[in-house]
């Protein structure tokens, strides 16, 4: 069993938890993820390792379905059954020169550990984060401390620049040379942002988030097409060369189980409400 050492709500439906998992913390590197299972009856889900401190790892997630909602209801002192990891290949951290680390929505969770590693490797690090509105922005203060400069954008203009992270990146690219970029967020955001870096010849990595079942290369559910070749995001990624990724196929495959996912969260909410005498927060 793995102890939840701290829980905190960061934004609407976005939660941060610190879990004591020494075997994961000891080996975790930027860009890797873990698979977590709350209890025997639960599914395993992949979450990015957002930070490491001693024997503990931090994950940040949005409560969007059954498992993430279940996780969001755990409190400090609770336990989860399984934490497997670190999984996936670490980010290719090197002294590139100037690096941009770009996070959209809950994808911002993946950025601090990459920014910190890129900085340690001697790069000048430009952080760019964005969300639909300022209430959904996370980790702004932490990233301002890690990055050499931090730019913020919101879709509705309620915080930072009015617009998308891709707009902010384009402006930056017109002013200065950027040698490498990491982009993490919704598939469409990664697609659009990668289209911005391509004409500038910037080496760009994206962290792909297909549906995963085992996270160890056995089931094939995380298949993605990169440079015309099928790759498994859990063992060959999750980071890939952005300019080689078939994003349209990724988006199509992410929607494969919408009906099943909808029934799972509906059943979970009905069940937890009944067990707690009507409270949906059981
Ligand atoms: C390597 C990797 C790292 C990830 N890291 C994070 C993270 O740090 N924080 C975070 O909030 N989420 C992360 N995700 C996505 C996260 O795993 C899903 O949100 C989670 O599995 C949803 O489980 P659920 O049971 O709550 O919802 P489900 O009922 O399984 O799904 C609910 C909704 O979420 C969508 N969904 C399901 N799986 C994914 C997915 N892999 N990516 C995007 N949408 C999905 C479904 O299409 C559906 O609309 C990551 C995914 C991968 C592959
Ligand atoms: S999640 Fe099963 S092969 Fe990648």
Instruction: Look up residue 211 and give its two tokens.
Output: 């549906």
Q: Is 220 in the pocket of ligand 2 (CB under 6 A)?
A: yes
Q: Which ligand is nearest to the CA of 71?
A: 1
**Cα-based angle 198, 191, 68 (whole degrees, multiple of 5):** 145
Mutate to test the pocket of ligand 1, among 34, 35, 65, 74 (most ligand atoms within 8 A of CB): 65
Q: Which fold has domain 98-254?
A: Rossmann fold (3.40.50)
Average of pLDDT values for 240-266? 83
Out of 3.30.70.1560, 3.40.50.80, 2.40.30.10, 2.40.50.140, select the CATH number for domain 2-87: 2.40.30.10
Position in ligand 2 atom list of the atom nearest CA 215: 1
What pLDDT, in 10s, does the model give residues 17-43? 999 999 999 999 999 999 999 999 899
What pLDDT, in 10s, does the model give residues 156-167? 999 999 999 999
Distance 231 CA to ligand 2 centre (A): 10
Find out whether 132 and 105 touch, Cβ atoms under 8 Å.
Answer: yes
Position in ligand 2 atom list of the atom nearest CA 212: 1
Burial class for 222, CB neighbours closer than 10 Å (0-12, 13-18, 19+): buried
Average of pLDDT values for 172-181? 96
Position in ligand 2 atom list of the atom nearest CA 211: 1
Distance 68 CA to ligand 1 centre (A): 8
Helices (H), 62-102: 66-72
Whether the pLDDT of residue 132 is over 80: the answer is yes
Distance 45 CA to ligand 2 centre (A): 11
Domain parsing of the chain, residue ranges: 2-87, 98-254
Residue nearest to atom 3 of ligand 2 (CA): 217
Whole-number pLDDT of residue 271: 72
Q: Which ligand is nearest to the CA of 266?
A: 1
Share of the chain above pLDDT 90, in %: 88
């Amino acid at each position: 069993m793995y102890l939840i050492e701290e829980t905190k709500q960061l934004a609407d439906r976005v939660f941060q938890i610190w879990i004591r998992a020494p075997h994961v913390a000891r080996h975790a590197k930027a860009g890797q993820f873990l698979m977590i299972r709350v209890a025997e009856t639960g599914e395993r889900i992949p979450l990015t390792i957002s930070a490491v401190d001693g024997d503990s790892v931090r994950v940040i997630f949005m409560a969007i379905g059954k498992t993430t909602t279940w996780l969001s209801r755990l409190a400090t002192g609770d336990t989860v059954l399984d934490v497997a990891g670190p999984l996936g290949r670490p980010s290719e951290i090197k002294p590139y020169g100037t690096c941009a680390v770009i996070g959209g929505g809950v994808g911002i969770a993946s950025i601090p550990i990459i920014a910190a590693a890129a900085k340690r490797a001697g790069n000048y690090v430009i952080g760019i984060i964005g969300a639909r509105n300022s209430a959904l922005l996370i980790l702004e203060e932490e990233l301002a401390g890690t990055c050499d400069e931090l730019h913020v954008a919101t879709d509705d203009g309620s915080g930072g620049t009015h617009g998308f992270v891709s707009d902010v990146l384009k402006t930056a690219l017109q002013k200065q040379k950027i040698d490498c970029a990491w982009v993490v967020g919704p598939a469409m955001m990664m697609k659009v942002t990668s289209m911005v870096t391509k004409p500038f010849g910037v080496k760009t990595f994206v962290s792909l988030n297909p549906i995963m079942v085992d996270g160890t290369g056995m089931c094939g559910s995380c298949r993605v097409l990169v440079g015309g070749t099928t790759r498994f995001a859990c063992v060959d990624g999750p980071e890939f060369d952005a300019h080689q990724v078939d994003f349209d196929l990724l988006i199509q495959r992410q929607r494969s189980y919408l009906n099943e996912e909808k029934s799972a969260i509906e059943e979970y909410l009905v069940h937890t409400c009944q067990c707690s005498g009507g409270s949906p927060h059981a």
